[in-house]
Amino acid sequence: MTAPVLVFAWGNPSRGDDALGPRFAEAIEALALPGVECLTDFQLQVEHALDLKGRQRVLFVDASLSASTPFQVSPVQPARDASFTSHAMSPAAVLQTYRDVEGESPPPAWQLAIRGEAWELGAEPSTQALAHLAAALRWAEEWLATETIA
């Protein structure tokens, strides 16, 4: 049975703070919350639209250079934006793809952007970024425990 809540995180675990997304998913998965499924990938891709089917809500998670410190949460609506490079498909574009290929509205979705600073190959996430991750996880535990989102 499809879990009603999907946490979809992306990033390259070998590139410094880009690992924040996958680390977030690992931490949430370790909590073994009922009804919550975590998926990770290097980047958002077109087939991820199919992972949204049957969900009640979705949380997209990525590291961000421009988000507020320590993290930023915003609702995402389907949109035909210009994010059609192969490694930068946006959550909004994934939602729009879902709408186009499934012929129905996608589940409500939010984007959690965790502030990162450095993307060096082979580097561990920075201390500051890990503190941002910890704050984001505290917020997410509460969010995931909430059945109805206002």
Partner 1 sequence: MSFELETAPATAQNLRRVAIDPVSRVEGHGKVTILLDDQHRVHQVRLHIVEFRGFERFIQGRPYWEVPVMVQRLCGICPVSHHLAASKALDLVVGVDKLTPTAEKLRRLMHYGQILQSHALNFFHLSSPDLLFGFDAEVGKRNIIGVAEAHPDIAKKGILLRKFGQEVIRVTAGKRVHGTGSVPGGVNRSLTREERDLLLKDIYQMVAWSRDAVNIIKQLHQQNPALYDHFGTFRSNFMGLVAPDGSLDLYHGALRARDADGKILFDQVDYQTYNQLITEEVKPWSYMKFPFLNLLGPEEGWYKVGPLARVQNCDSIPTPFAEHERKELVAYAGHKPLHATLAYHWARMIEMLFAAETIKDLLHDDDLEGHDLMAPAGERRREGVGVIEAPRGTLFHHYQVADNDLVTMANLIVSTTNNNQAMNTAVREVAKQYLDGREITEGLLNHIEVAIRAFDPCLSCATHALGQMPLEVSLVDAEGTVIDRVCRDQGGVQHLS
The residue among 62 and 147 lying less far from partner 1, judged by its C-beta, is 62
The residue among 96 and 140 lying less far from partner 1, judged by its C-beta, is 96
Q: Which residues contact 110 (CB under 8 A, 6 or more apart)?
A: 57, 58, 59, 60, 73, 74, 75, 76, 149
Give the residue from 80, 70, 63 showing the smallest Cα distance to 125: 63
What span, in angstroms and rounded, lies between the C-alpha atoms of 62 and 49?
17
CB of 150 to partner 1, least distance (A): 25
CB of 26 to partner 1, least distance (A): 12
Provide the binding-site residues for partner 1, judged by CB under 8 A.
10-15, 18, 39-43, 45-47, 49-50, 62-67, 80-88, 90, 93, 96-97, 100-101, 103, 113, 116, 119, 121-122
Give the residue from 132, 147, 2, 3 showing the smallest Cα distance to 62: 132
CB of 129 to partner 1, least distance (A): 12
